[in-house]
């Protein structure tokens, strides 16, 4: 990463921290799907209108059998004649992450949800899992204005079990355009 980009990143992060209204993220849709209903049952996966420019994400699902081996693939897409891969495509060991917080991008997402979810513990996961009213969504990186899609694919024992995909609009801060 070059210095200029790093500085821009830090600068925009500072702007988010201090609550600038200039660059913002708005979630526009959420879609969850279980691939294996004998392991994961999705009850609820919806956005709620929070204010004019803000929505909150609410997810409620049940893990029917204990999950001890969980991987998450998160892949970001940007809309341009359909959705194209953009910037992030990582697969992480979620159980290891919950013990070590060892992935910076995952950590950024974790920080947004840690206070509003029930997943604040290490593996295994079993039973009702919720994400309630997640609205503090911040992306501390300079990105172009546009429509994005974050694909979150959850694997238990290395096999896909469910997806939780979030569509959002990002509007860049006009003052930090390089
Ligand atoms: C919210 O939307 C209004 C009208 O579109 C706009 O004037 C305002 O700056 C927006 N607020 C944020 C935080 O972007
Ligand atoms: C689906 O879930 C069941 C119950 O936990 C599990 O035994 C089975 O291996 C899963 N199937 C796949 C393809 O992961
Ligand atoms: C989760 O969804 C189920 C089924 O719709 C509902 O019975 C339950 O009250 C919900 N729990 C929470 C914590 O939202
Ligand atoms: C869960 O949350 C509490 C309070 O926010 C925190 O002190 C604790 O370290 C968290 N535990 C894990 C495993 O993240």
> What are the average pLDDT values for consecutive 10-residue runs of the chain, which has 178 residues?
43 44 82 98 95 90 98 96 94 96 91 92 96 87 90 97 96 63
Q: Look at ligand 1, atom 10, and give the residue with the nearest C-alpha.
A: 53
Nearest partner of 70 among 122, 133, 5, judged by Cα: 122
Fold of 31-171: Ganglioside M2 Activator Protein; Chain: A, (2.70.220)
Domain spans in the chain, listed from the N-terminal domain onward: 31-171
**Which residue ranges have their beta carbon within 6 Å of ligand 2?**
36, 38-39, 65, 159
Q: What is the pLDDT of residue 127?
A: 97
Q: What is the pLDDT of residue 175?
A: 59
53 CA distance to ligand 1 middle (Å) = 6
- From first CA to last CA, the distance across the chain in angstroms is 15
158 CA distance to ligand 2 middle (Å) = 11
Which ligand ends up closest to the CA of 46?
3
Phi, then psi, of 120 in degrees rounded to 5: -80, 65
155 CA distance to ligand 1 middle (Å) = 38
């Amino acid at each position: 990463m070059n210095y200029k980009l790093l500085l821009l990143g830090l600068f925009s992060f500072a702007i988010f921290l201090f609550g600038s209204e200039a660059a913002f993220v708005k979630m526009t849709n959420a879609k969850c799907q279980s691939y294996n209903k004998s392991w994961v049952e999705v009850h609820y996966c919806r956005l709620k209108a929070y204010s004019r420019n803000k929505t909150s994400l609410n997810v409620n699902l049940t893990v029917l059998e204990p999950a001890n081996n969980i991987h998450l693939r998160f892949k970001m897409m940007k809309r341009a004649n359909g959705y194209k891969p953009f910037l992030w495509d990582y697969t992480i060991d979620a159980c290891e992450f919950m013990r070590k917080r060892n992935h910076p991008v995952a950590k950024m997402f974790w920080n947004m949800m840690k206070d509003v979810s029930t997943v604040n513990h290490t593996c295994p996961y079993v039973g009702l899992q919720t994400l309630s009213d997640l609205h503090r969504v911040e992306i501390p990186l300079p990105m172009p204005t546009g429509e994005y899609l974050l694909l979150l694919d959850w694997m238990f024992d290395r096999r896909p079990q469910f997806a939780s995909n979030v569509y959002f609009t990002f509007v860049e801060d006009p003052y930090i355009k390089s």
